[in-house]
Amino acid sequence: MRKIRYLVRGTFVFISILLILVMIQQSIASNRNGKLSYKASVPNQVILCLERGRSANEFLSDIRGNVIKEMPRRNIMLIDFPDNIPVEKVANAFGRRAGVVFAQPNYLCGLPEINCQDEYTPDLNNPVYIAGISPGPYYNQQATNSSGADSANLFSTGSGIVVAVIDNGIDFGHPLFADIPDSTGYDFVDNDGEPAEETGDMLGHGTFVSGLIKLVAPDCILIPYRAFDESGIGDSYAIAMAIYRAIDDSVDIINMSFNTYTSSSVIETAVAAARQAGITMVASSGNDSCSTTSYPAAYAGVIMVGAIDSLDYLAAYSNYGAYLDVVAPGVMVYSALHTDYESDWGYWSGTSFAAPQVSGGCALILELEPSLTGDSMEVFIRETAETGLLWGTVVPCDTLYGYGRDNVLRSVTCLRRGDVDNSGQIDSLDYQYLINYLNYGGPAPTPIIGLGDVDCSGAVNSLDVSYLINYVNFSGPKPCCQ
């Protein structure tokens, strides 16, 4: 009987140890994949935002702390202190003191592909890069075909539009980015002016994301900001610094292919500043197949993008929920890989790669309508999304598909509908052009005939001429936007 008791007790101890090990492993995985359900943060660091006129010296003596980084114009600083004080305790104590706007741990954040769908597939054919032609799978893939980006380039290529990419850097040596100087952007991990990717588990992530932006908007100007290290981990302070730097650099769009489930005051404040500046922000929803609120995508003024497959079904890993704006292809998408791989090109899956396609589409829209603010862009993207998917119809706002699939061709056509002679403005020459086309065999509306379907009836006919005359001469309704 005693042997049985020892056996039972030993089994219980073994199971307890096993459970503890599993919990530790889950905690480590949580820290690694950016979910941060345990609110993982950088040890011994607190972010402090003070009211104007207040100094960190008023607070540091209590914890023997030091300011290690600072954003003077924002009065935001990163503080470190001895490791015998819990981070949450320090943040909470500071947060209750007068003169403190907010105090928080320096929360960690991860690239979504760290723990889910992180296998890339190099194109072993290793095609040579020829702008606009090769690789074939890059320029002719389901991703851009479904959004109509290739046809949208007949109207716009994103020329002059500046897109910031907050990620783990970029491969400046890749032929796709040969026109980007090595000194473009900034590295907030190593604190230098060369945001090149470094060898690690997430090598190629920023390069792949940047390649998809250039695919949709080939003439946009990319600025990489490295806020994530080679393993795909970044912290709140570095991300906020990157957003503020993007504001200072007067970018038009910020792509954020990362997410966390812990709201961060410093990132939220930076996002609010970018929103106030009118910047369009696009973020991935995350790769955990859940509806948990994900940041920064859920912050006001940010376009949240989920991923779908080639049949328009939500990707098995894609997050969803009430904050979702649109979906875009994110399964086996083709783009630029880091040149340290077996090929300069390949396939990858994840919501990180759905978001940059929307960012590229926003660049096309801004070239045509530069006055659009980030808030207006979010509404416009929703209004022009495709609701008729391959499997059926989306009824906005659907928690799985948001307002539908991103449709950049519809967006740019909406801005140019009625300009049938492609002159850049809608005037009497356009309805004369349309009359000539319909009655006398003149040239069709250019570059696509859909510009002449002014009432969105699905056909170009005399009703469109009447509609256009009414708009130009009698202040009638604008050409429809569908």
By annotation, the residues acting in catalysis are 167, 205, 352
Cα–Cα nearest to 481, from 462, 458, 456? 456
| Whole-number Å distance between alpha carbons of 129 and 134 | 5
* Burial (Cβ within 10 Å: 0-12, 13-18, ≥19) of residue 282: buried
Q: What angle do CA 177, 183, 296 make, to 5 degrees?
A: 75
How far apart, in Å, are the Cα atoms of 24 and each of 17, 18, 19, 323, 404?
A: 11, 10, 9, 31, 39
Residue among 333, 373, 376, 377 at smallest CA distance from 351: 333
Q: What is the DSSP letter of 64?
A: T
Q: Write phi, then psi, for 70 (nearest 5 degrees).
A: -155, 145
Q: Which two tokens stand for residue 199?
A: 């060898």
d(CA 418, CA 456): 11
Strands 162-167 and 100-110, sheet pairing:
unpaired
Dihedral sign computed on CA atoms, order 450, 153, 367, 387? positive
The reply to whether omega before 447 is within 30° of 0 (cis) is yes
**What is the phi/psi pair of residue 398, to 5°?**
-80, 140
Amino acid at 81: F
The token duo for 423 is: 């002159």
In terms of phi and psi (left: phi > 0; alpha: psi -120 to 50; beta: otherwise), the region of 99 is: left
Beta carbons within 8 Å of 386's beta carbon, 6+ residues apart: 404, 405, 406, 407, 410
CB 354 within 8 A of CB 121: no
